[in-house]
Amino acid sequence: MLTGAQIIWECLVGEGVEVVFGYPGGAILPTYDAMLDYPVRHILVRHEQGAVHMADGYARASGRVGVAIATSGPGATNMVTGIATAMMDSSPVVCITGQVASALIGSDAFQEIDITGITLPVTKHNYLVTKPEDIAPTIREAFYIARSGRPGPVLVDITKDAQQAACEYVWPPDPKLPGYRPTHTPRPDAIQQAIDLINRAERPVILAGHGVILSGATSIVRELVERAQIPVAMTLLGIGGFPASHPLNLGMMGMHGEAWVNTAIQEADLLLALGMRFDDRVTGKLSTYAAHARKIHVDIDPSEIGKIVKVDVALVGDVRDVLNRILPSVAPTDRSGWLGHIRSITGDCAVRDITNLPDSGHLYAAHVIQDLWRETIGNTVVVTDVGQHQMWEAQYYRHEEPRSLISSGGLGTMGFAVPAALGAKIARPDAEVWAVVGDGGFQMTMAELATIAQESVDINIAIIDNGYLGMVRQMQEFFYERRYAATPLANPDFCKLAEAFGLMSISVSKRADVIPAVQRARQHPGAVVIDFKVEQEDSVYPMVPFGGALQDMIRRPSPIAETGASG
C-alpha cells in the first residue's frame, strides 16, 4: 500500500522525470512531504507562473515533458498564464495541482478554486482526481496526451484526501483512450496531388513552422529543399528548424520578416506549409496573401486545415512522416531562375540594415544581438521574451540548430524569458543559455532571479533596456501620433538589483563594450545580468502594419534620407 502522494512520485519517476518546478502550499503538502523520499530535483520558484514557464522552457529545450507543481487556489490560478503559453505554442507540460479535500469541493473552502474549469480552454486535456487509485492511470494518461500528437499542456488536479489515502499501487499499463487520435496518415491521393504540385511549381516557397522542430524533421526538410531547390521561409517558432546559414534559407516571414522573404511569398506559385498555422502575424491581410499560390498544408492537427487560409491539398500528419512519403517522388529540379530573382529583390536591404550603418555613437539593440551571436554561436540556446528585442533577436541571431531559440510566439507572454531560460538550462546543463529580454518583460518575472541564485543556475541575462515598452511605443509612434500613453518606464538600477540577489552584473552603453561584456559573462561561473542601455526610440523594421498586405511593409528609412536619430 502506498499513499496517493507516494503514487504521484512513483509515476513521475516512472515517466523518467528528474526535475520538477514548483511551489508548496496546504493542499499539495502531502505530496511535498513524500517528495523527500524520491530522487527528483525540486526547483523552488518564486511564483507559480514561473514554474510553468520553466517546465515549458525545459520541454522546448529538450523535447521531454516538463513538470510543474502548485497548490490549490491562487497557486493554481497563477499557473494559468504559463499553461496558456504552452498551449498556444504546443509545448508538452504536465501541471499537478493540489485541490481541497473532496468533501469540501463546491463549498467555497479556503483556497478552493475550480482549476479544471478555468483551464478547460487552455489545456489539451485536464483531470480532477478524487481517489488514490485513479492517480496512477491519470498521470500516465496525462504524460501520454501531453507529448503525443500535437503536444500541449495537461493539468491534473488532485484532492488532498486522495493524496493522503492509501491503496495498492502497480505501474499502470499503457493508456487506452478510445477517443484520442494523436496522429493521422494522409491519404495516398492527397500525397500524389502534393507531389504533382511540387514537381510542377516554378516559384515554390516552403513555410517552415514549429512542427518541423517538434517532429524532428530538420534533416528531411533539408533533403527536400536541396533536391527540389525550394527556398525556405521560417515562422518565428520555426527558427532553428532549418539552418540559418543554408543558402536556401530566406529567413523569417511575416510582420517583421525581411522584405525579400515576404515578397517571395507574395510572388510564389506554390506554398508548402510545414507544421505552421498561418498566424495573422504571418499572413498580414488575408485577401491579398499569396494570391497566386497553390497551397499545400502539412499539419498534424486536422482542425488547423482551412482555419485561416484555404488550401489546395491538406496532408494531415506528422511533418517528418509526411515528407518521408513525399520525398522519393520529388524530382530534382533546377530553379535557379526563381532563386536568382529572390536574390535580386533584396535591393537596398543591406544599405538600410542598421548593422551596416557607420557607428554613430548610439548603441542599437541590433548591434547587441549581432555581437552576441558572433560570440556565442555554437552550443547556445537563446530564450527571448516578447516585444522588439524578440524580433531583433529573430532577425540578427542566426540559429543553426533546432531548439536553439525558445520564445513565446502564440500567446506573446511577457515575462516568459527569464523562467523559461532557467528551465532550458536545467534541461540542457551542457548548453550555454542566454535570456534576451526587454526591460518591461524582465520586471514581470524578475523575482525568479532568486530561484536562479538559490539553485545556482548558470544562465546569462541580456536586458535590452530602452526605457520603454518598446513594441507598444513603436505602434504609438506609427499609428497614434507619438502619444506615448503608459509606455515610458522608470526602471530600477538593474545592476544593483542583480547584485542584491547575489548575481554578477554588467552595464553596457557603448557598442565597443558589448563583446567584452559578453565575454566576461561567459567566463563567469554563475549567472550574470547585463543591462544593455540601448537607443530609446529605435523601431523594428521592416514592419507590415496590422491588417496590411505583406508587400506593403514599412522599411527602415534609407541612410541617405535619414536625419539624426532613427525612428
Partner 1 sequence: MTITYIVRVENRPGVLTRVTEVFRRRAFNIESLTVGHTEMPGVSRMTIVVETDADAGRRMEAHLYKLVNVLHVDTVTEQPSVFRDLAMIKVAATPETRSQVMQLVDVFRARVIDVSPASMVIEITGTEDKIDGFVDVLRPYTVLEMARTGRLAMRRGVSEPAAAGGASAAADDVAAA
DSSP-derived secondary structure for 136-202? HHHHHHHHHHHHSSS---EEEEEEHHHHHSEE---PPPSP--TT--------HHHHHHHHHHHHH-S
Secondary structure class of 398 (helix, strand, coil) = coil
506 within 8 A of 531, measured Cβ to Cβ? yes
Q: Active-site residue among 110, 202, 226, 310? A: 110
HEC letters along 76-98: HHCCHHHHHHHHHCCCCEEEEEE
Shortest distance in whole angstroms from residue 460 CB to partner 1: 39
Binding site for partner 1 (CB under 8 A): 116-117, 120-121, 124-125, 128, 145, 177-181, 184-187, 190, 301-303, 305-307, 314-316
263 CA to centre of own chain: 26
Catalytic residue at 111?
A: yes
Q: Which is nearer to partner 1, 180 or 478 (CB)?
A: 180
Shortest distance in whole angstroms from residue 190 CB to partner 1: 6
Shortest distance in whole angstroms from residue 152 CB to partner 1: 10
Cis preceding-peptide flag for 542 (omega within 30 of 0): yes
How long a stretch of residues is the chain?
A: 567
Secondary structure class of 368 (helix, strand, coil) = helix
Q: Which is nearer to partner 1, 13 or 177 (CB)?
A: 177
Which residues have C-beta within 8 Å of that of residue 407, sequence separation ≥ 6?
236, 237, 383, 384, 385, 386, 390, 393, 394, 416, 417
Q: Which is nearer to partner 1, 186 or 387 (CB)?
A: 186
Enter the C-alpha cell of residue 484: 506615448
Shortest distance in whole angstroms from residue 150 CB to partner 1: 8
296 within 8 A of 315, measured Cβ to Cβ? yes
Phi-psi region of 251 (alpha: psi -120 to 50; beta: other; left: phi over 0): left
Catalytic residue at 110?
A: yes
Q: Which is nearer to partner 1, 78 or 119 (CB)?
A: 119
Q: Which is nearer to partner 1, 116 or 263 (CB)?
A: 116
**Residue of 305, 368, 328 whose CA lies nearest to 516:** 368
Q: Which is nearer to partner 1, 306 or 378 (CB)?
A: 306
Which residues have C-beta within 8 Å of that of residue 136, sequence separation ≥ 6?
7, 10, 11, 169, 170, 171, 172
Q: Active-site residue among 124, 160, 295, 425? A: 160
Shortest distance in whole angstroms from residue 134 CB to partner 1: 12
Shortest distance in whole angstroms from residue 297 CB to partner 1: 8
Active site members: 48, 110-111, 160, 471
